[in-house]
Structure 1
Amino acid sequence: MAHKVTTSVAFRAPAFCSQDLSMWFSILECNLRPIRSLLASLNAVLPPDILLQVSDVIVKAVTSTTPYEDLKKAVLARLQNTIVVRLQELLTREELGNERPSDLFRRMKTLLADKYDSFDREVFKQLFYQRLPPATQRSLFTVKDILAVDELANLADEFMGILPLA
Protein backbone atom coordinates (compact mmCIF):
# COMPACT_ATOMS: atom_id res chain seq x y z
CA MET A 1 0.00 0.00 0.00
CA ALA A 2 1.46 3.33 -1.09
CA HIS A 3 1.39 6.24 1.28
CA LYS A 4 0.85 9.74 0.05
CA VAL A 5 3.44 12.14 1.42
CA THR A 6 2.61 15.80 1.56
CA THR A 7 5.35 18.31 1.99
CA SER A 8 4.78 21.94 2.75
CA VAL A 9 7.34 24.65 2.70
CA ALA A 10 6.86 27.76 4.79
CA PHE A 11 7.30 30.95 2.87
CA ARG A 12 8.39 34.11 4.59
CA ALA A 13 7.59 37.18 2.55
CA PRO A 14 10.64 39.27 1.65
CA ALA A 15 11.24 42.55 3.43
CA PHE A 16 9.64 45.45 1.59
CA CYS A 17 12.01 46.77 -1.08
CA SER A 18 11.04 50.23 -2.32
CA GLN A 19 14.11 50.40 -4.61
CA ASP A 20 12.67 47.79 -6.98
CA LEU A 21 8.95 47.40 -6.41
CA SER A 22 8.33 45.24 -9.49
CA MET A 23 10.93 42.71 -8.35
CA TRP A 24 9.50 42.66 -4.83
CA PHE A 25 5.95 42.01 -6.08
CA SER A 26 7.24 39.28 -8.42
CA ILE A 27 8.91 37.42 -5.54
CA LEU A 28 5.76 37.71 -3.47
CA GLU A 29 3.51 36.51 -6.31
CA CYS A 30 5.73 33.58 -7.25
CA ASN A 31 5.50 32.21 -3.74
CA LEU A 32 1.95 32.92 -2.67
CA ARG A 33 -1.43 31.91 -3.98
CA PRO A 34 -4.46 32.37 -3.84
CA ILE A 35 -5.22 36.08 -4.04
CA ARG A 36 -6.48 36.41 -0.45
CA SER A 37 -3.17 34.95 0.79
CA LEU A 38 -1.33 37.46 -1.36
CA LEU A 39 -3.39 40.31 0.04
CA ALA A 40 -2.91 39.17 3.65
CA SER A 41 0.84 38.83 3.12
CA LEU A 42 1.06 42.19 1.42
CA ASN A 43 -0.76 43.88 4.31
CA ALA A 44 1.54 42.10 6.77
CA VAL A 45 4.84 43.12 5.17
CA LEU A 46 4.19 46.65 3.98
CA PRO A 47 5.66 49.24 6.35
CA PRO A 48 3.12 51.39 8.22
CA ASP A 49 3.99 54.55 6.28
CA ILE A 50 3.25 52.74 3.01
CA LEU A 51 0.00 51.30 4.38
CA LEU A 52 -1.09 54.84 5.24
CA GLN A 53 -0.47 55.93 1.65
CA VAL A 54 -2.77 53.19 0.32
CA SER A 55 -5.29 53.05 3.17
CA ASP A 56 -8.14 54.06 0.86
CA VAL A 57 -7.52 50.96 -1.26
CA ILE A 58 -7.19 48.68 1.78
CA VAL A 59 -10.57 49.89 3.09
CA LYS A 60 -12.20 49.01 -0.26
CA ALA A 61 -10.49 45.58 -0.44
CA VAL A 62 -13.31 43.82 1.39
CA THR A 63 -15.81 44.59 -1.36
CA SER A 64 -13.44 44.44 -4.32
CA THR A 65 -13.37 41.49 -6.68
CA THR A 66 -9.66 42.13 -7.31
CA PRO A 67 -8.32 43.33 -3.93
CA TYR A 68 -4.71 42.26 -4.40
CA GLU A 69 -4.45 43.74 -7.89
CA ASP A 70 -6.02 46.99 -6.65
CA LEU A 71 -3.53 47.27 -3.80
CA LYS A 72 -0.55 46.36 -5.99
CA LYS A 73 -1.59 48.93 -8.59
CA ALA A 74 -1.95 51.63 -5.91
CA VAL A 75 1.45 50.89 -4.36
CA LEU A 76 3.15 50.94 -7.75
CA ALA A 77 1.38 54.10 -8.88
CA ARG A 78 2.05 56.01 -5.69
CA LEU A 79 5.60 54.91 -4.97
CA GLN A 80 7.32 53.99 -8.21
CA ASN A 81 9.17 56.76 -9.97
CA THR A 82 7.57 57.96 -13.14
CA ILE A 83 9.32 57.32 -16.43
CA VAL A 84 10.31 61.00 -16.52
CA VAL A 85 12.09 60.72 -13.16
CA ARG A 86 13.75 57.46 -14.23
CA LEU A 87 14.96 59.08 -17.46
CA GLN A 88 16.36 62.02 -15.52
CA GLU A 89 18.26 59.59 -13.30
CA LEU A 90 19.50 57.74 -16.36
CA LEU A 91 20.67 60.94 -18.02
CA THR A 92 22.21 62.67 -15.03
CA ARG A 93 22.95 60.44 -12.05
CA GLU A 94 24.04 57.03 -13.28
CA GLU A 95 27.80 56.59 -13.09
CA LEU A 96 30.15 53.62 -13.20
CA GLY A 97 31.78 54.20 -9.83
CA ASN A 98 33.52 51.05 -8.55
CA GLU A 99 31.25 48.70 -10.46
CA ARG A 100 31.85 46.63 -13.53
CA PRO A 101 30.41 48.07 -16.75
CA SER A 102 27.96 45.15 -16.99
CA ASP A 103 26.61 46.10 -13.53
CA LEU A 104 26.10 49.67 -14.72
CA PHE A 105 24.33 48.37 -17.84
CA ARG A 106 21.92 46.27 -15.73
CA ARG A 107 21.25 49.19 -13.38
CA MET A 108 20.54 51.54 -16.30
CA LYS A 109 18.27 48.91 -17.86
CA THR A 110 16.44 48.45 -14.55
CA LEU A 111 15.83 52.19 -14.32
CA LEU A 112 13.89 52.05 -17.55
CA ALA A 113 12.01 48.94 -16.38
CA ASP A 114 9.21 48.04 -18.79
CA LYS A 115 10.15 50.98 -21.07
CA TYR A 116 13.54 49.44 -21.91
CA ASP A 117 12.17 47.38 -24.80
CA SER A 118 10.75 50.46 -26.51
CA PHE A 119 13.66 52.78 -25.69
CA ASP A 120 15.93 53.71 -28.61
CA ARG A 121 18.82 51.19 -28.50
CA GLU A 122 21.39 53.54 -30.02
CA VAL A 123 20.59 56.32 -27.56
CA PHE A 124 20.79 53.87 -24.67
CA LYS A 125 24.10 52.50 -25.96
CA GLN A 126 25.51 56.03 -26.25
CA LEU A 127 24.41 56.90 -22.72
CA PHE A 128 26.11 53.76 -21.46
CA TYR A 129 29.27 54.33 -23.50
CA GLN A 130 29.62 57.91 -22.20
CA ARG A 131 29.77 56.63 -18.63
CA LEU A 132 32.76 54.38 -19.27
CA PRO A 133 36.28 55.54 -18.33
CA PRO A 134 38.13 57.28 -21.21
CA ALA A 135 40.66 54.44 -21.59
CA THR A 136 37.86 51.89 -21.93
CA GLN A 137 36.03 54.15 -24.40
CA ARG A 138 39.17 54.33 -26.55
CA SER A 139 39.57 50.55 -26.43
CA LEU A 140 35.96 50.02 -27.54
CA PHE A 141 35.76 52.84 -30.08
CA THR A 142 36.15 50.65 -33.18
CA VAL A 143 33.52 48.11 -32.11
CA LYS A 144 30.96 50.25 -30.27
CA ASP A 145 28.78 50.69 -33.35
CA ILE A 146 28.89 46.99 -34.25
CA LEU A 147 28.08 45.38 -30.89
CA ALA A 148 24.81 45.33 -29.00
CA VAL A 149 24.92 47.22 -25.71
CA ASP A 150 25.01 44.05 -23.57
CA GLU A 151 27.94 42.74 -25.63
CA LEU A 152 29.63 46.12 -25.28
CA ALA A 153 29.17 45.95 -21.50
CA ASN A 154 30.72 42.48 -21.32
CA LEU A 155 33.66 43.51 -23.47
CA ALA A 156 34.12 46.62 -21.33
CA ASP A 157 34.31 44.32 -18.28
CA GLU A 158 37.13 42.44 -19.94
CA PHE A 159 38.99 45.61 -20.95
CA MET A 160 38.69 47.11 -17.50
CA GLY A 161 40.12 43.90 -16.08
CA ILE A 162 43.32 44.27 -18.14
CA LEU A 163 43.70 48.04 -18.56
CA PRO A 164 45.85 49.86 -16.01
CA LEU A 165 43.96 52.13 -13.63
CA ALA A 166 43.95 55.75 -14.77
Structure 2
Amino acid sequence: MPDNDNPDANNGRQLQVSRVSIKIPPFWRKNVGLWFTQVESQFITSNITNETTKFHYVLAAIESEILDEVSDFVINPPATEVYTKFKQKLIEQFSDSEARKIKKLFTELELGDKRPSTLLREMKQLAGSQLTDEFLRSLFLQRMP
Protein backbone atom coordinates (compact mmCIF):
# COMPACT_ATOMS: atom_id res chain seq x y z
CA MET A 1 0.00 0.00 0.00
CA PRO A 2 1.64 3.30 -1.09
CA ASP A 3 2.36 5.99 1.45
CA ASN A 4 0.90 9.20 -0.05
CA ASP A 5 2.85 11.40 2.38
CA ASN A 6 6.18 9.83 1.46
CA PRO A 7 7.54 11.18 -1.84
CA ASP A 8 9.86 8.18 -2.22
CA ALA A 9 6.88 5.80 -2.16
CA ASN A 10 5.42 7.60 -5.20
CA ASN A 11 8.60 7.80 -7.30
CA GLY A 12 9.36 11.28 -5.99
CA ARG A 13 5.83 12.63 -6.57
CA GLN A 14 3.31 13.61 -3.96
CA LEU A 15 -0.34 12.93 -4.71
CA GLN A 16 -2.63 15.89 -4.28
CA VAL A 17 -6.36 16.37 -4.37
CA SER A 18 -7.41 19.80 -5.56
CA ARG A 19 -10.54 21.51 -4.34
CA VAL A 20 -12.79 22.68 -7.13
CA SER A 21 -14.84 25.82 -6.77
CA ILE A 22 -17.90 26.44 -8.91
CA LYS A 23 -20.50 29.18 -8.93
CA ILE A 24 -24.01 27.81 -9.08
CA PRO A 25 -26.57 30.32 -10.34
CA PRO A 26 -29.49 31.32 -8.09
CA PHE A 27 -32.31 28.77 -8.04
CA TRP A 28 -34.79 29.45 -10.80
CA ARG A 29 -38.20 28.38 -9.55
CA LYS A 30 -39.86 29.27 -12.86
CA ASN A 31 -37.88 26.68 -14.83
CA VAL A 32 -36.13 24.18 -12.57
CA GLY A 33 -35.17 21.89 -15.45
CA LEU A 34 -33.31 24.68 -17.21
CA TRP A 35 -31.64 25.66 -13.93
CA PHE A 36 -30.35 22.10 -13.53
CA THR A 37 -29.00 22.26 -17.09
CA GLN A 38 -26.89 25.26 -16.03
CA VAL A 39 -25.77 23.55 -12.84
CA GLU A 40 -24.79 20.37 -14.66
CA SER A 41 -22.82 22.43 -17.15
CA GLN A 42 -20.82 23.74 -14.19
CA PHE A 43 -20.28 20.18 -12.98
CA ILE A 44 -19.05 19.07 -16.40
CA THR A 45 -16.61 21.95 -16.84
CA SER A 46 -15.29 21.35 -13.31
CA ASN A 47 -15.12 17.58 -13.83
CA ILE A 48 -17.40 16.87 -10.85
CA THR A 49 -18.98 13.44 -11.22
CA ASN A 50 -19.64 12.23 -7.67
CA GLU A 51 -23.35 12.16 -6.70
CA THR A 52 -22.69 13.22 -3.11
CA THR A 53 -20.52 16.16 -4.16
CA LYS A 54 -23.16 17.33 -6.66
CA PHE A 55 -25.87 17.02 -4.00
CA HIS A 56 -23.95 19.14 -1.51
CA TYR A 57 -23.14 21.84 -4.08
CA VAL A 58 -26.82 22.13 -5.02
CA LEU A 59 -27.94 21.99 -1.39
CA ALA A 60 -25.57 24.82 -0.47
CA ALA A 61 -26.80 26.97 -3.37
CA ILE A 62 -30.55 26.79 -2.69
CA GLU A 63 -32.29 29.40 -0.53
CA SER A 64 -33.83 28.37 2.76
CA GLU A 65 -37.41 29.05 1.56
CA ILE A 66 -36.94 26.48 -1.21
CA LEU A 67 -35.24 23.96 1.09
CA ASP A 68 -38.11 24.30 3.54
CA GLU A 69 -40.43 22.84 0.89
CA VAL A 70 -38.23 19.75 0.46
CA SER A 71 -36.96 19.51 4.03
CA ASP A 72 -38.04 15.87 4.40
CA PHE A 73 -35.59 14.92 1.65
CA VAL A 74 -32.79 17.17 2.90
CA ILE A 75 -33.02 15.86 6.47
CA ASN A 76 -33.15 12.20 5.40
CA PRO A 77 -31.41 11.90 2.02
CA PRO A 78 -31.28 8.46 0.38
CA ALA A 79 -28.07 6.44 0.59
CA THR A 80 -27.71 6.05 -3.19
CA GLU A 81 -28.17 8.39 -6.16
CA VAL A 82 -28.68 11.29 -3.75
CA TYR A 83 -28.13 14.02 -6.38
CA THR A 84 -30.29 12.37 -9.04
CA LYS A 85 -33.14 11.83 -6.59
CA PHE A 86 -32.82 15.37 -5.19
CA LYS A 87 -32.97 16.75 -8.73
CA GLN A 88 -36.14 14.71 -9.42
CA LYS A 89 -37.68 15.90 -6.15
CA LEU A 90 -37.04 19.58 -6.93
CA ILE A 91 -38.35 19.26 -10.49
CA GLU A 92 -41.50 17.49 -9.28
CA GLN A 93 -42.03 20.02 -6.49
CA PHE A 94 -41.63 23.18 -8.54
CA SER A 95 -42.60 22.31 -12.11
CA ASP A 96 -46.11 22.81 -13.38
CA SER A 97 -48.10 19.66 -14.09
CA GLU A 98 -48.97 18.88 -17.71
CA ALA A 99 -52.57 19.89 -17.05
CA ARG A 100 -51.44 23.24 -15.57
CA LYS A 101 -49.19 23.88 -18.60
CA ILE A 102 -52.04 23.24 -21.04
CA LYS A 103 -54.40 25.45 -19.01
CA LYS A 104 -51.80 28.21 -19.02
CA LEU A 105 -51.34 27.80 -22.77
CA PHE A 106 -55.07 28.18 -23.46
CA THR A 107 -56.06 30.80 -20.91
CA GLU A 108 -53.12 32.85 -19.68
CA LEU A 109 -50.59 33.22 -22.47
CA GLU A 110 -50.95 36.40 -24.50
CA LEU A 111 -48.77 38.39 -26.89
CA GLY A 112 -48.80 41.61 -24.85
CA ASP A 113 -45.44 43.38 -25.24
CA LYS A 114 -43.65 40.22 -26.38
CA ARG A 115 -42.32 39.55 -29.82
CA PRO A 116 -44.31 36.94 -31.74
CA SER A 117 -41.25 34.63 -31.74
CA THR A 118 -41.10 34.82 -27.93
CA LEU A 119 -44.79 33.96 -27.65
CA LEU A 120 -44.36 31.02 -30.02
CA ARG A 121 -41.38 29.70 -28.03
CA GLU A 122 -43.37 29.93 -24.78
CA MET A 123 -46.32 28.18 -26.40
CA LYS A 124 -44.08 25.36 -27.65
CA GLN A 125 -42.55 24.95 -24.18
CA LEU A 126 -45.95 24.70 -22.55
CA ALA A 127 -47.39 22.39 -25.21
CA GLY A 128 -44.47 19.98 -25.13
CA SER A 129 -45.54 16.94 -27.13
CA GLN A 130 -49.18 17.23 -26.05
CA LEU A 131 -50.36 19.17 -29.13
CA THR A 132 -49.67 18.84 -32.84
CA ASP A 133 -47.67 21.53 -34.60
CA GLU A 134 -50.68 22.37 -36.76
CA PHE A 135 -52.95 22.90 -33.75
CA LEU A 136 -50.26 24.97 -32.03
CA ARG A 137 -49.84 27.08 -35.16
CA SER A 138 -53.58 27.73 -35.27
CA LEU A 139 -53.60 28.72 -31.60
CA PHE A 140 -50.59 30.99 -32.19
CA LEU A 141 -52.28 32.76 -35.11
CA GLN A 142 -55.36 33.38 -32.95
CA ARG A 143 -53.18 35.31 -30.52
CA MET A 144 -51.85 37.63 -33.20
CA PRO A 145 -53.47 41.09 -33.47
* Aligned Cα root-mean-square deviation (Å): 1.8
After superposition, give the CA deviation of every residue in 1:34-68 in whole Å (9 maximum; x if it has no partner): 2222211211111212111112212332x421001
Within a 5 Å distance, the mapping from 1:52-131 to structure 2 comes to 52-61=68-77, 63-112=78-127, 116-131=128-143
Question: Cα offset for 1:10?
Answer: 4.6
TM (norm. structure 2) is 0.76
Alignment of 1:30 onto 2:41: yes
Preserved contact between residue 23 and residue 42 of structure 2 (Cα < 8 Å): no
State the match for 1:147 in structure 2. none
For residue 81 of structure 1, what is the amino acid of its counterpart? D
Distance 2:59 2:86 in 1: 9
Number of residue pairs aligned between Structure 1 and Structure 2: 122
Preserved contact between residue 24 and residue 61 of structure 2 (Cα < 8 Å): yes
Show structure 1 runs of 5+ residues with no match.
1-7, 134-166
After superposition, give the CA deviation of every residue in 1:109-132 in whole Å (9 maximum; x if it has no partner): 2223xxx23522221111111111
Preserved contact between residue 54 and residue 83 of structure 2 (Cα < 8 Å): yes
Question: Percent identity over the alignment?
Answer: 28
Distance 2:95 2:109 in 1: 18
TM (norm. structure 1) is 0.67
